[in-house]
Amino acid sequence: MSQRGKLSLDFSEIESPSTTPTTESPRRNSQITQSKLIFPDGVSYDNFTTDNLIERGMIGSGSFGSVLRMEHIESHKIMAVKRVRAHDIKRSEKERVLRELKITIETQQCEDVVRFYGAVFQDGDCWICMEIMDCSIESLYKAVYKQGSRLPENVISFIAVSVVRALNYLKKQHRITHRDVKPSNILMNSKGFVKLCDFGISGYLYDSIARTQDVGCQIYLAPERLRGGTYGIKADVWSFGLSLVEICLGRFPYPPWASVFEQMQSVVNGDPPILHIDDGYSYELANFVNLCLVKEEAGRPTFEHLTTEPFYIQHNIVNQEEMDAKRAEIGKYVVTYVNAEPTEA
């Protein structure tokens, strides 16, 4: 294997997004350049380069580049590595990568967010090394329904509480709105962890309002976002509620739309989807989900409010021993339906 020189940042012409809504000057990207790998157990590896990695398969790909399953040679740690091309992507894509990298680093105190291990830059490409998960809740529910079953309420409640914790943490601690909440961005593993990922279009809130208009996955957008007006954290609440209905029913709750205009007519002017107790779930779960899908933003709760709902309080585990036991239970369920190989980026 050829030896490469020390890696350096090649995105110097782009400034990373500001972390706060103050007048503080944005930091230069070179300050987030890293050549150290740090794992959750505290073990670190200095002078980390891409030569220290062995590719073990593809996880996924997109317009940004690819996500690879890779092994760190010295520690034998398997991780997900997002390799972002620098030379053939737009400036906006580069900014999105830097935003994701910055927010992922900032949110490492939350165990409901995918862990960041380090980032290096090689020949202008950015390699983001992160915790590898086994599946998304999208691939999980599809595997379950394919076998003629459905997600049990104890699994759905654990997912719901974990995601509310993560999104409420983003809002309270960092004034961040995710803006792309959907089943494929909520990951799970065989250890029973549920984690939020993909902060590429996340944005900072100014007076509880998102100032930029980056578009998330179109079909999960809240009515106020489709209208094109201002929006805040409650837009994420809508996307979260829609995701919960989907994994409960085993399908996206709206019929297919032929056009964006048809989508706007349906979401903005039509009735919101509802989870009924006739669908086989409890009144408490149905009520919790339906609160998230109040069409008018003013009547929709925040994530902070959702933490006061009886359903959340009932399923929010605060005792570590109980949490470990619950994660072991959820992990066994995941293994039942998902292969050991990760299925989602």
The residues annotated as belonging to the active site are 180
Can you read off the two tokens belonging to residue 45?
A: 């590896």
Measured distance CA(238)–CA(248) in Å, rounded: 15
Can you read off the two tokens belonging to residue 294?
A: 């109040």
Residues 168-201 as b/e (b if ≥16 CB within 10 A, e otherwise) read bbbbeebbbbbbbbbbbbbbbbbebbbbbbbbbb
Q: Cα–chain-centroid distance for residue 160?
A: 13
Residues 6+ apart with CB under 8 A from 140: 151, 188, 247, 334, 337, 338
Measured distance CA(175)–CA(204) in Å, rounded: 6
Q: What is the DSSP letter of 214?
A: -
Measured distance CA(90)–CA(98) in Å, rounded: 13
Coil, strand or helix at 13 = coil
Can you read off the two tokens belonging to residue 119?
A: 């980032």
CA triple 155-156-162, angle to 5 deg: 90
User: Dihedrals φ, ψ of 308, to 5°?
Assistant: -100, -5
User: Dihedrals φ, ψ of 197, to 5°?
Assistant: -140, 180
Binding residues: 82
Residues 6+ apart with CB under 8 A from 93: 63, 64, 84
β-pair partners for 203: 177
Binding residues for ATP: 82
> Does an H or E element contain 54, and which?
strand 53-62
